[in-house]
Amino acid sequence: MIEFFNRLFGRQSSSATAKERLRLVLLSDHLALAPDLIGDLKRELVDVISRYVEVDRENIELNFEQREKVIAMLANVPILSMHPATRANGAKRSGRAPDGTKRPRRRRKRATPTSNPAPAT
């Protein structure tokens, strides 16, 4: 309730800030990746995908989620169009809708890069 009002007024409680900061720092602790390396990962991932399809770089979402045993990486990459070179022979797929406007496609990629830190001895 109070969070709702705070969102309405564009303000976040310090406990909500604490929770969000913790979520992010533990993520980077568990991945053993510094926050700026996560940025690098995102950039390089997009570069690879861009070799095959044209992606909407502005609207890419890359999130990590703590699942029961593993951390899951969830990427939401809007695809603007296929590069002609990557289309299969004779395929008629086009990034454009029948009315000629660009039609973003959404693809979801999943990966589970690391499990929880192994117990040290």
Partner 1 sequence: MQELKVQEDAASAPAVTKRGTAIVVTSGKGGVGKTTTVANLGTALAQRGAKVVLVDADVGLRNLDIVLGLESRVRHHLLDVLEEKVSVDDALVADKHSAQLCLLAAAQTREKEDVDTEKMRALIATLAQRFDYVLIDCPAGIEMGFKNAVAGADEAIVVCTPEVSAVRDVDRVVGLLGNRFRPRLIVNRVRPQLVAKGKMLSVEDVNSILRLPLLGVIADEPGVIIATNRGTPLALNGASKAGAAFRAIAARVAGEDVAAPEVAIPPQGLMAKLGSLFGGRR
Tell me, residue by residue from 70 to 109, as one string, x for binding to partner 1 by CB under 8 A and - for no binding: ----------------------------------------
Residues 55-74 within binding reach of partner 1 (CB under 8 A): 66
- In whole angstroms, give the CA distance from residue 11 to residue 98: 44
Q: Is 9 among the residues that bind partner 1 (CB under 8 A)?
A: yes
Cα-Cα-Cα-Cα dihedral sign, residues 32, 37, 41, 42: positive
List of residues 6+ apart from 104 with CB closer than 8 A = 56, 78, 79, 80
Q: Is 39 among the residues that bind partner 1 (CB under 8 A)?
A: no
Partners of 120 in the β-ladder: none
| Six token digits for residue 65 | 């989620």
Q: Is 1 among the residues that bind partner 1 (CB under 8 A)?
A: yes
Looking at the Cβ atoms of 26 and 111, the one nearer to partner 1 is 26
- In whole angstroms, give the CA distance from residue 113 to residue 96: 34
Q: Is 37 among the residues that bind partner 1 (CB under 8 A)?
A: no
Q: Which residues bind partner 1 (CB under 8 A)?
A: 1-3, 5-6, 9, 11-16, 18-19, 21-23, 25-26, 29-30, 66, 116-120
